């Protein structure tokens, strides 16, 4: 019996010892592992993902864009957009791509012989199509972020190509001023070239910087050739032209640039004053406007004719002549001049408004309304021309828009300072 009790006591002591050992292990090694289990930090999410893929596609797209491979750039950027639909950088790059495509067409309209009405009509239709795509892409980019630099620059480009030069300059003044990179340098230089003024030293500095940012000769190189020719530096223009002939994205412009240089370097005699010489017609246009404002319609008309002789196809001169004819109560001649201006540039807003007013007065309200609606699409309802057009559309519908100006006072007159080209927002017609 005593022996059995001894064995039981021994087992009990052994159990206590084993329990103590287990407890000790649990309190040391086990506690460490238990802590790891209970407070383990969740693993970092793997950077798979789409973010890295989007960045790669974006970088490749911009590289291809700067290399002149617009189709390749478009392919990469569309893939990036599919992965990140609202990424402001991707949308800004897409806007830059579409404005680059439209810009090539815009420059071509500046190079063509303005007396070749058929070629001008074809290119202006193409520009309208391209510009519509560029505007949509830019609106999408600005909808994602109004501070994305590529979107802001695309906005300036779209306004410039639409001829809304005052609005484009206002927008350009809001761009970051430093550091000036190649892309922004081009945007500012192209805006310089949209006017009738001769290129300045600053314009050439911007073009040189923009060209340096192109991996292969692109639109900056083409614009440099154009600017050199406009400045009368024909030998330099021809030298720079050689670089374009093998460029993938702008080689199509080489023949037009060559023809443009030749046309300016060796102008064909025309009109009673002899040879047409390249030059700045802006002073003539502004003098004509001031002369008309003083009531001297004959003197203003003579100045507009002189400007037209120096630059056949100038939409400003043609629109000014139309306004003079309208004020002289000659609707037939006014209609002819408006039609000629719109043949050269179907998006020139002053001619659209003036032509619409003339059609309206002639009782051709269906055609006039088509013009007014086009004006609204181009410049919107919150501009002087837009308010004028909106008032006419509302009048035709039997109601007046709230706060709309009357048609007789809604738009600037031809004595305002007009845009140099395109679909400008000044120098229009009054009722």
Distance CA 320, CA 314 (A): 10
Find where tokens 């040879």 sit.
Answer: 275
pTM here is: 0.55
Residue finishing a domain among 265, 295, 327: 265
Domain final residue, candidates 240, 265, 290: 265
One domain for residues 240 and 300: no
Do residues 201 and 192 touch, judged by C-beta distance below 8 A?
Answer: no
Secondary structure string (H, E, C) spanning 192-227: HHCCCCCCCHHHHHHHHHHHHCCCCCCHHHHHHHHH
Cα–Cα distance for residue pair 23/248, rounded to 1 Å: 79
Q: Is the same domain home to 218 and 338?
A: no
3-state secondary structure of 92: helix
Q: Are residues 92 and 229 in the same domain?
A: yes
Domain-located, residue 15: no
* 367, burial (CB in 10 Å: exposed 0-12, middle 13-18, buried 19+): middle
Contact residues for 134 (Cβ-Cβ < 8 A; gap 6+): 95, 98, 99, 101, 102, 154, 157, 158, 161
Q: Which domain holds residue 308?
A: 282-397
Q: Residue 177: what pLDDT?
A: 77
Residues 117 and 239 grouped into a single domain: yes
Measured distance CA(247)–CA(68) in Å, rounded = 7
Same domain, 116 and 232: yes
Separation CA 101–CA 105 (nearest Å):
7
What pLDDT, on the 0 to 100 scale, is given for residue 246? 67
Structure-token pair, residue 205 = 């500095």
Please compute, for residue 121, the number of CA atoms within 13 A of its CA located in the half-sphere on the CB side.
7
Domain assignment of residue 347, yes or no: yes
pLDDT of residue 95: 93
Residues 148 and 193 in one domain: yes
Q: Do 57 and 192 fall within a single domain?
A: yes
Nearest CA to 354 among 334, 383, 373?
Answer: 334
Q: Is residue 271 part of a domain?
A: no
Cβ 74 vs Cβ 133: under 8 Å = no
Same domain, 96 and 245: yes
What is the spatial distance between Cα 364 and Cα 331, in angstroms, rounded to a whole number?
13
pLDDT score for 26: 55
Residue that terminates a domain, selected from 230, 265, 300: 265
Q: What is the pLDDT of residue 121?
A: 85
pLDDT score recorded for residue 9:
60
Please state the domain count of the chain: 2
164 & 234 share domain:
yes
Residue 97 lies in a domain: yes
346: exposed, middle or buried (Cβ count in 10 Å: 0-12, 13-18, 19+): middle
Record the tokens describing residue 284, joined without a space: 């003539």
**Domain membership flag for residue 291:** yes
- Is the same domain home to 323 and 353? yes
Same domain, 241 and 321: no
CATH number at residue 382: 1.25.40.10
Number of Cβ within a 10 Å radius of residue 133: 15
Q: How far apart are CA 154 and CA 140, in angstroms?
A: 11
**Is 412 among the domain residues?**
no
pLDDT score for 172: 93
Residues 6 or more apart from 249 whose CB is under 8 A from it?
68, 69, 70, 100, 104, 216, 218, 219
Q: Is residue 214 part of a domain?
A: yes
The reported pLDDT for the residue numbered 10 is 62
83 falls within a domain:
yes
- The pLDDT of residue 7 is 56
pLDDT along the chain (431 residues), means of 10: 56 59 55 50 53 91 85 90 90 93 92 80 90 95 92 95 91 83 93 85 93 88 92 89 75 86 67 46 85 88 88 87 92 88 84 90 88 84 82 80 43 40 36 30
253 and 344 in a single domain? The answer is no
């Amino acid at each position: 019996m005593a022996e059995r009790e001894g064995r039981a006591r021994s087992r009990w002591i052994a159990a206590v010892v084993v329990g103590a050992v287990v407890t000790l292990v649990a309190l040391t090694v086990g506690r460490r592992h238990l802590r790891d289990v209970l407070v383990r930090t969740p693993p970092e999410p793997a950077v798979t993902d789409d973010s890295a893929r989007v960045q790669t596609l974006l970088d490749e797209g911009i590289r291809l864009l700067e290399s002149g491979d617009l189709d390749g750039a478009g392919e990469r950027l569309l893939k990036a957009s599919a992965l990140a639909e609202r990424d402001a950088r991707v949308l800004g790059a897409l806007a830059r791509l579409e404005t680059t495509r439209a810009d090539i067409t815009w420059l071509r309209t500046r190079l063509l012989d303005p007396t070749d009405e058929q070629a001008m009509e074809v290119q202006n239709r193409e520009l309208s199509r391209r510009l519509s795509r560029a505007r949509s892409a830019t609106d999408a980019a600005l909808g994602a972020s109004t501070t994305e630099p590529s979107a802001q620059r695309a906005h300036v480009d779209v306004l410039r190509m639409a001829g809304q030069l005052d609005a484009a300059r206002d927008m350009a003044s809001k761009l970051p001023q430093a550091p000036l990179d190649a892309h922004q340098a081009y945007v500012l230089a192209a805006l310089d070239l949209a006017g009738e003024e001769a290129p300045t030293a600053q314009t050439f500095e911007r073009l040189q910087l923009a060209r340096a940012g192109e991996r292969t000769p692109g639109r900056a190189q083409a614009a440099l050739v154009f600017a050199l020719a406009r400045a009368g530096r024909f030998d330099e223009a021809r030298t720079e032209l050689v670089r374009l002939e093998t460029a993938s994205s702008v080689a199509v412009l080489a023949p037009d640039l060559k023809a443009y240089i030749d046309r300016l370097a060796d102008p064909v005699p025309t009109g009673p004053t002899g040879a047409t010489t390249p030059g700045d017609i802006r002073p003539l246009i502004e003098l004509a406007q001031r002369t008309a404002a003083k009531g001297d319609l004959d003197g203003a008309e003579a100045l507009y004719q002189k400007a037209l002789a120096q630059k056949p196809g100038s939409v400003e001169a043609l629109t000014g002549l139309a306004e003079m004819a309208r004020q002289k109560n000659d609707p037939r001649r006014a209609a002819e001049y408006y039609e000629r201006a719109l043949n050269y540039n179907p998006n020139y807003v002053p001619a659209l408004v003036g032509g619409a007013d003339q059609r309206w007065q002639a009782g051709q309200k269906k055609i006039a309304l088509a013009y007014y609606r086009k004006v609204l699409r181009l410049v919107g309802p919150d501009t002087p021309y837009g308010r004028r057009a909106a008032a006419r559309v509302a009048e035709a519908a039997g109601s007046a828009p709230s706060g709309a100006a009357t048609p007789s006072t809604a738009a600037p007159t031809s004595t305002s300072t007009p845009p140099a080209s395109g679909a400008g927002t000044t120098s229009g017609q009054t009722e």
